[in-house]
Chains A and B, each alone.
Chain A
């Protein structure tokens, strides 16, 4: 029996979203080239917009003198403490509130009342309580990370499939076993979404905190360069911030793939 082949046009072709990897790279490259061109031709004074090549040279200079490393390490140290403390507290509170009705009754109204406060507004208060040293800077970052973590973890825990929980219980799992083996794993995707949100907030608050009474850090570098009208140095600080943001997003994504293996295979 002869098979008649009919060619049918895929009418959902417009829904396909190819990767366009080359275009992505070209877009970024094009922007940098345009920027270089604008500054090279003298349309914009280098004082107001330093050229990318100038920024790169200055960045290398600062890296060689060790100056950039001092600022970067100081910022990373504050980020690590603030992010660590905030994320741990956020996950802990989120799981407790999601799982125990009593904890939910106590904590949820408090979170609802304190979450909308822009954390930057708390900075002066934190400085009064904790002084102008490291503690207030770490605390504001931790606060900024805590809320998205707690809220996302809570939502993740609440979303755990009741059927799975019942199944686990009927197989004889205890309360802790259910939390550890069913609730937390099913909340993990939401926890990672919270981590990524928190990373952005943490950078924002870090820069704000470092602009008050600091003597090192990327935020300090940016403010000081602005005060001194060293715009090239200022741009180096901004580029480093952008790289930090990209790096943290990438690292969290990699961690997510390792931790939530079942979701990506």
Chain B
């Protein structure tokens, strides 16, 4: 290649790269590199997996790239540090504290709720205590309860369940054990009396015989446990942000119709159910029969329970895990999901 030709090519590349900027608001089809999505390898990430596998994101011109994490809080940190564009995971005190610390990120859509009739997180007690008559939340008074971390969704959930039953968080001893596997081990070793763990752990504990599921936490206290978050950078890139959301809402509808519909209190799976199980098994690395234990509930259109976000912040503040509450509009933005739903119809 001659020098001049190389120069011409370089100029062409430059012009092409600048084209979307020059064109002002480019069409949704204009790709600008992959959208990095931080997820956990859990059943509750299924809508994201579906969107990737079925090409729903690509349909709207967005190239997703999955980045796997081990816990929810680091996803929020990576998002604030600009290493991710989208996070899809549990709502923790860490996430709110990041925004309180001056970084920007946006809670934009539903990514899973604790809901009656949809098993997700269970309260599991030691088999011997269960046999000895520890069968209700009130019996947990004075007991040691194992969770992954302080400030985690499990911490929030048990605190609210206790309050609903007339107890306080200080009536029990919350023992943070850092990892889910360690939490299960602590119950096995009788170092805690009860634990909160998500599926498939409760099923596995009962199968091994050292614990009993006392209750499904969602039956006792429903709440917006997980959400989709946008980095500030993606939120500013309106076209791309809405395009991603269109793909997500489409995946969300597919997920809802396949796995969440109930008839007379019993699950009535849609025709795509087997495919959904297969996709989830492929991405989580779990066996299909474990996946079939249950899919968590979420809104068909990915709409968020906005008042619950306010309730969560108030609880973290009241219990000393957050300095002060944030104004809702500094952390929640539902305009993307609304625009996407409007643009999709049905």
Contact = CB atoms under 8 A, between A and B. Distances in A.
Interface of A: 45-48, 127-128, 131-132, 211-213, 215, 223-224, 227-231
Contacts of A132: 175, 186, 191
A94 to B, nearest CB: 35
B176 A213 contact: yes
Contacts of A212: 177-178
A209 B178 CA distance: 13
B321 A228 contact: yes
Chain B's interface size range is: 20 to 34
B286 interface: no
Contacts of B152: 227
B78 to A, nearest CB: 12
Contacts of B175: 132, 213, 215
Contact of A229 (B97, B173, B189): B97
Given A213-B176, A224-B176, A228-B93, A46 B149 contact: no
B156 to A, nearest CB: 12
Contacts of B80: 47
A227 B152 CA distance: 8
A211 B73 contact: no
B338 interface: no
Contact of B191 (A46, A131, A211, A230): A131
B150 A227 contact: yes
B103 interface: yes
Contacts of A230: 97
Contact of B149 (A47, A128, A227): A227
B28 interface: no
B304 interface: no
B33 to A, nearest CB: 24
B239 interface: no
Given A224-B150, A228-B150, A127 B94 contact: no
Contacts of B76: 229
Given A215-B173, A231-B101, A128 B189 contact: yes
B73 A213 contact: no
6 contacts: A46-B101, A131-B191, A223-B178, A227-B150, A229-B73, A229-B101
Which of A128, A223, A230 has its CB near the most chain B CB atoms (within 10 A)?
A230
B102 A45 contact: yes
B94 A227 contact: yes
Interface string B137-176: 0000000000001111000000000000000000001111
A213 B73 CA distance: 19
Which of B176, B177, B321, B322 has its CB near the most chain A CB atoms (within 10 A)?
B176
B284 interface: no
B77 interface: yes
B94 A228 contact: yes
